[in-house]
Amino acid sequence: MASNKSLLILPGDGIGAEAMGQVRKVVDWMDNRRSVTFDVSEDLVGGAAIDRHGVPLADETMDRALEADAVLLGAVGGPKWDNLDFSIKPERGLLRLRKEMELFANLRPALCFDALVEASSLKPELVSGLDIMIVRELTGGVYFGEPRGIEDLENGERRGINTQVYTTSEIRRVAEVAFDLARKRDGRVCSVEKANVMESGLLWREEVSKLHGEGNDDIELSHMYADNCSMQLVRTPKQFDVILTDNLFGDMLSDTAAMLTGSLGMLPSASLGSVDALGRRKAMYEPVHGSAPDIAGQDKANPLATILSFAMALRYSYDHGEEADLIEQSVATLLKEGKRTGDIMAEGCELLSCSQMGDALVRKLDEASA
Ligand code: NAD
């Protein structure tokens, strides 16, 4: 049975549009061949929106994002808009989407494709088969806590203040996402904080443990201090399944985990919000990389991070895990066959442009489902 799902595509700036063009090929392929059909609409964000509307995200675009089953975003920013005031910079569009959609859980998979193990900064045996999911709390903690600011002291010194703060509900809702994810994976959650030196970390640990006891004890829960976790990630990364952590530690640990996999052009992400009365979870999917102005407009970008972000949308927003698997397996096959964009090029491999990579993937999808 065909089912229509709404998808709002926001290509943004730089290589965003080129990468999104390849996602369109995959969406069209699914429309033509499989049981998933999408109502796709497209709008502006970032510099492109500033050029058209004078703001990085128009109100109408925000409304459309709130109504869509999922939002797929390319990347924002570039030198053209670098000197604008902070309040209307391209990145503000992204922040507005995250804030108004209340996307509190950021999912960053660190998955090492076998064909790319050599690109990792770690030894191949440490990263081969690596498959970690980092769940980072995204709307609370020290980046948003009050009081904050820089103040002048009477003695002539200045003092900078930020506040790490979490409430029970903020911790529980993101921990629930982690437990749910673990249930669909290897069934293990490692919750990471600094309960030894921070009260907010102690509360985090207590609330996660409490929630674990309330119907989540099918999941194996462990706790780890953040400094140890950063060490373990580069020592024996395969020990982890799902890592659950706060905004600040998640920011750092997810970048560390990203480097284990070697390439920025391969990394997808998802940001999830609450489930509404209709059972829909607000969600935005985007590659981890930026707009790459140095290669924009040259058909050189690696579109796979954006395509893999769409695969995450299939799995988490549209409940089409099979199609997500198909895309991920086809990407793995392409890499194994030595098809590469410039950023992941290796000796003996075949160099493809962005659009050639999109075409090659569609051919793989055809083969895989023949
Ligand atoms: P970047 O991720 O855009 O690029 C870093 C390097 O990686 C560049 O050399 C680039 O060519 C390369 N690269 C990135 N993605 C690639 C891909 N898919 N294929 C091939 N090569 C790729 O980071 P940057 O240079 O620090 O930032 C450039 C602009 O992007 C800035 O305006 C920045 O603010 C913005 N940015 C946006 C986001 C976002 O939209 N989420 C994230 C990071 C940076």
Q: Residue 368 above 50 pLDDT?
A: yes
Please provide residue 96's backbone torsions phi and psi, each rounded to the nearest 5 degrees: -65, -40
Concerning whether 80 is annotated as a catalytic residue, the answer is: no
Ligand 1 centroid to Cα of residue 282, in Å, is 25
pLDDT in tens, 192-226: 999 999 999 999 999 999 999 999 999 999 999 99
15 lies in the same domain as 136: no
- 181 within some domain: yes
Residue 121 within a domain: no
Give the Å distance between the CA of 76 and the centre of ligand 1. Answer: 9
**Annotation marks residue 25 as catalytic:** no
Report pLDDT for 137.
97
**Residue 164: what pLDDT?**
97
Q: Are residues 311 and 224 in the same domain?
A: no
Does some domain include residue 123?
A: no
* Interval 26-52: pLDDT, tens: 999 998 886 688 999 999 999 999 999
CB of 263 shorter than 6 A to ligand 1 = no
Residues 93, 144 within the same domain = no
338 & 368 share domain: yes
In a domain, 267, yes or no: no
Ligand 1 centroid–CA 289 distance in Å is: 5
Cβ of 47 below 6 Å from ligand 1: no
Domain range for residue 318?
1-104+274-370
Does residue 37 sit in the same domain as residue 88?
yes
**Do residue 156 and residue 231 come from a single domain?**
yes
Give me the catalytic one of 227, 294, 319, 366.
227
CATH of the domain at 255: 3.40.718.10
144 and 254 in one domain? Answer: yes
**Cβ 291 under 6 angstroms from ligand 1:** yes
241 belongs to the catalytic site = no
Region 123-134: what's the mean pLDDT?
A: 94
Mean pLDDT of 131-145: 95
Choosing from 131, 255, 299, 325, the catalytic residue is 255
Residue 217 catalytic?
no
Contacts of 97 (CB under 8 A, 6+ apart): 45, 57, 62, 65, 71, 73, 103, 284
> Which one of the listed residues 194, 282, 339, 364 is annotated catalytic?
194
**Over the stretch 272-330, which tens digit does the pLDDT of each residue have?**
999 888 888 999 999 999 999 999 999 999 999 999 999 999 999 999 999 999 999 99
Give the span between the Cα atoms of 232 and 238, in whole angstroms.
9
Total domains, the chain: 2
- Catalytic-residue membership of 194: yes
Q: What confidence tier does 1 reach under pLDDT thresholds 50, 70, 90? A: very low
Residues 64 and 181 in one domain: no
CA end-to-end distance (rounded Å), the chain = 19
Pocket flag, ligand 1, residue 78 (CB < 6 Å): yes
pLDDT above 70: residue 258: yes
Indicate whether 81 and 151 sit together in one domain. no
Both 235 and 296 in one domain: the answer is: no
Where does a domain end: 192, 225, 260?
260
Higher per-residue pLDDT: 259 or 234:
234
In a domain, 122, yes or no: no
Given a cut of 60, whether residue 11 has pLDDT beyond it is yes
Query: 183 and 300 share a domain?
Result: no
- Give the whole-angstrom CA distance, residue 34 versus residue 307: 17
**Pocket flag, ligand 1, residue 192 (CB < 6 Å):** no
Q: Which of 203, 233, 260 is the last residue of a domain?
A: 260
Nearest CA to ligand 1 atom 22: 265
Residues 343 and 247 in one domain: no
244 within some domain: yes
> What mean pLDDT do residues 170-174 have?
98
Between CA 143 and CA 97 the distance in angstroms is 16
| pLDDT on residue 35 | 65
Helix 321-336 / helix 354-368 crossing angle, nearest 10 deg = 120
Say whether pLDDT at 2 is over 50.
no
Say what the pLDDT of residue 251 is. 92
